[in-house]
Structure 1
């Protein structure tokens, strides 16, 4: 993702303060008993990122209100509240060979699943993952989809004898497409816009299934898409296959999104449809922005992004951005507060040089001298750091991650509130499962804890014990295959 730096590039160890000014500066700094350097920047950051209960409640209530507005009409709120056209979830009776194609970021996955019906369920699976060359993220739609279809064709060629296709049937695909799409049917949808750093020309405004079908035809690949789904919808379907109490699914990885099971009779924009059934709503909650506690670093990062003013919730809570926010804070602390001894390493000015996995590793460091933190700072930024500086870096990391996890928890409560209000109290009074997927949630224990803490604080212990947040690893891949089977053209 191309993001402009917020300050000019400095020499590797260029002095930024005269000795006199540095003495004045250092007189403004204090040291906690823990050894952390406390500066006005850190104090302001912690104040701006604070998420006490009233802030969380405001965010949750705003999420609920924006969901309602988005269900009234398209454009009614920041939340698109997209109809998925998934009106029936997998039952366990699905059988046969199905494929899934999962495009959600810098990789795409292809999955092969043999389903055995109620008795055997998932008989066997195979998958492959292919990295998308970065240049294809900025090229044409035809080039991107040709690359994807080529990978799918190579995978299909390796189909072994343990997978069997029923006579007279064509290989069907569940296509997980994790970008904002205006769904027009279960197997068609118009791309609204690219996110997650993609800027492929020729796709927005067109049906992504048609783009894939045309590419498969060019590859001579005899397959058909029977279900187009978002990764959150697929995650919900995959988790619901094993647990009937799953009602919400959330992705917290490079990007973020959420979906939930909604009653069709409370969706005004279904244009008079009076069915009493259920459907899945893809909220596209990454675009939420109401009442979020933002800092100057968030605003600068947003302004320098390829989509300024958009996806504010995603830029505050998801894995693509947490490391970058931390980097921007450290850069200012190095320039203004002499965090690294009054010198600013050049690489500290490189956008996205610090990734969220690096932030996670620094927070896991339990060594007495925070050696892991020191190594990461040296390896990425070529900076030597004192123990006090390392403790300050960890505190910055914790401040940004705590805000992100707690805001994600408030978003989940906002969805549950909406469901509770329209179900006459049937959500909070029973076991309700939120299926979670994504590397940020899976691999970052502090983030998970902050998220769960926020849910418990908002709902109270009596209600929150009924809300089960359950990790659903790889749920989107299996879920897409299951939805392909349950929406098969040959069923």
Structure 2
């Protein structure tokens, strides 16, 4: 059986599995959160079918998993050199980085900028003007405003690429809804915004998403890295595919005859492929989201929705009289009040210790929770990610990884992983490994490797590899 070799850190050792509900009624009330092996197998088969549709020229249009070729063919060899800029947009924070590579050595200066809500939901012009302003502020602080440095742009939203420096936004995700961007080339929009300021000079060498950045970052150290995975605010995966299987490919057929494929698997389920595993909570989250019916797989997995799922479960159990004596609070009834970080905090309590759980409940206006309530809250939190037989978010991701590993059928693969859910949740790493081991082909060895600053370093590495191969 394949072995999962690397834990993401000390966090992976915290917690126990699984809390036992304090009553049969509680267990019965949460049963719809538990997936069966038959359901998991159906997810596996359906996801593989959608990936194959996404790779086909004729079938891509009807596929929910689009499998966009990224035009990144070369992986790092560890000998890249030079100074590079990187921009990283993928959520409510935006980063600008200056990265220096020197034959295996790595130095980085970076700054994080907020993306205010009115920018996330305003016009595309305002968004890219904000990005250009952040870049200008950083460049002046680093005294590089007069240098022309190669730049890698991490733009972590579904895009169809038409070259290494051309990517058209397919659709917004992660709470963004800026007008005038969908269908447009985001590199061109960035360059136009920089030209409007006319106070910095850049040369965009590559545009990529955070999964590609994660893969490239880990491949710099582990040359058998062929998969990049994000489990954070959203979820997505990319992998190295043989060109002969990528019918959408319209670039060079020179060696290497491979390309990183951006699956955009978060959209899986938008045509009903996951209806058999959706709960009433999933349907409510989807119905009240800004993109109903879209990004269904992502809504079942990612940190953006995990806390809200727990809140809905706790609210229903309270109304049934199974929690808090049937008396909730105004805070618990408020959409979005149960943050995803609360899930990790509750599960990090040692057995019989409810310190973190009580702190979370007090923030929700639930000051008089009993030990039994705390035990059941922990049980609910665990069920959103795991159960005694089958895991939910972690096992769904593990199922997806097994699909990719089996499809590539390489003897040894490192999977570069990043994102807050993987990085901080105490159980996700081990549970993903368990599910992969259930579905992977014999003879395949795999390792899950926590990426170190994947989006930033990866963007610089794509720019560095592009500069190296074009020189």
TM norm. shorter chain > 0.5: yes
Question: Which of 54, 57, 61 is equivalent to 1:75?
Answer: 61
Question: Which of 241, 262, 271 is equivalent to 2:220?
Answer: 241
Secondary structure (helix, strand or coil) at the match of 2:332 reads: helix
CA distance in 2, matches of 1:405, 1:35: 21
Question: Which of 437, 444, 449 is equivalent to 2:418?
Answer: 437
| Greater mean alpha carbon deviation, residues 83-92 or residues 97-106 | 83-92
Secondary structure (helix, strand or coil) at the match of 1:469 reads: strand
Pick closer, same or farther for the CA change 1:368–1:109 going to 2, 3 Å: same
Question: Which of 320, 327, 339 is equivalent to 2:311?
Answer: 327
CA shift, 1:89, in A, is 1.9
Larger Rg: 1
1:348-382 CA distances to partner (integer Å, 9 max, x unpaired)?
12111111110110011126351321221111244
1:237-268 CA distances to partner (integer Å, 9 max, x unpaired)?
11111111111110011111000000001122
CA shift, 1:121, in A, is 2.5
CA distance in 1, matches of 2:319, 2:38: 34
Pick closer, same or farther for the CA change 1:432–1:353 going to 2, 3 Å: same
Contact 2:69–2:246 (8 Å) recurs in 1: no
CA distance in 2, matches of 1:488, 1:459: 37
CA distance in 2, matches of 1:415, 1:240: 17
Residue 283 of structure 1 is matched in structure 2 by 263
- In the alignment, is residue 213 of structure 1 matched against residue 205 of structure 2? no
Pick closer, same or farther for the CA change 1:369–1:249 going to 2, 3 Å: closer
Question: Which of 328, 334, 337 is equivalent to 1:344?
Answer: 328
Secondary structure (helix, strand or coil) at the match of 1:243 reads: coil
CA shift, 1:438, in A, is 0.9
User: Matches of residues 12-411 of structure 1 in structure 2 within 5 Å?
Assistant: 36-39=22-25, 42-46=27-31, 48-73=32-57, 74-116=60-102, 120-159=103-142, 170-220=148-198, 221-270=200-249, 277-289=257-269, 290-291=273-274, 293-366=277-350, 368-402=352-386, 403-411=392-400
CA distance in 1, matches of 2:268, 2:122: 29
Aligned residues: 439
CA shift, 1:39, in A, is 2.5
Pick closer, same or farther for the CA change 1:417–1:35 going to 2, 3 Å: closer
Contact 2:99–2:107 (8 Å) recurs in 1: yes
CA shift, 1:273, in A, is 7.7
CA distance in 1, matches of 2:223, 2:62: 31
CA distance in 2, matches of 1:164, 1:376: 46
CA distance in 2, matches of 1:105, 1:50: 30
- Over the aligned positions, Cα root-mean-square deviation in angstroms equals 2.3
Contact 2:241–2:408 (8 Å) recurs in 1: yes
1:420-458 CA distances to partner (integer Å, 9 max, x unpaired)?
2xxxxxx1xx22111111111011121222211111222
Gaps of 5+ in 1: 1-32, 421-426
Pick closer, same or farther for the CA change 1:333–1:135 going to 2, 3 Å: same
Secondary structure (helix, strand or coil) at the match of 1:155 reads: helix
CA shift, 1:35, in A, is 6.8
Secondary structure (helix, strand or coil) at the match of 1:184 reads: strand
CA distance in 2, matches of 1:272, 1:56: 36
Contact 1:90–1:486 (8 Å) recurs in 2: yes
1:9-43 CA distances to partner (integer Å, 9 max, x unpaired)?
xxxxxxxxxxxxxxxxxxxxxxxx96724436x42
Residue 9 of structure 2 is matched in structure 1 by none
Residue 19 of structure 1 is matched in structure 2 by none
- Could you tell me the TM-score, scaled by structure 1's length? 0.85
Secondary structure (helix, strand or coil) at the match of 2:324 reads: coil
CA shift, 1:205, in A, is 1.5
Residue 3 of structure 2 is matched in structure 1 by none
1:142-187 CA distances to partner (integer Å, 9 max, x unpaired)?
1111111111111111226xx999xxx7212100000011111100
CA distance in 2, matches of 1:378, 1:296: 27
CA shift, 1:338, in A, is 4.8
- In the alignment, is residue 472 of structure 1 matched against residue 422 of structure 2? no
CA shift, 1:110, in A, is 1.0
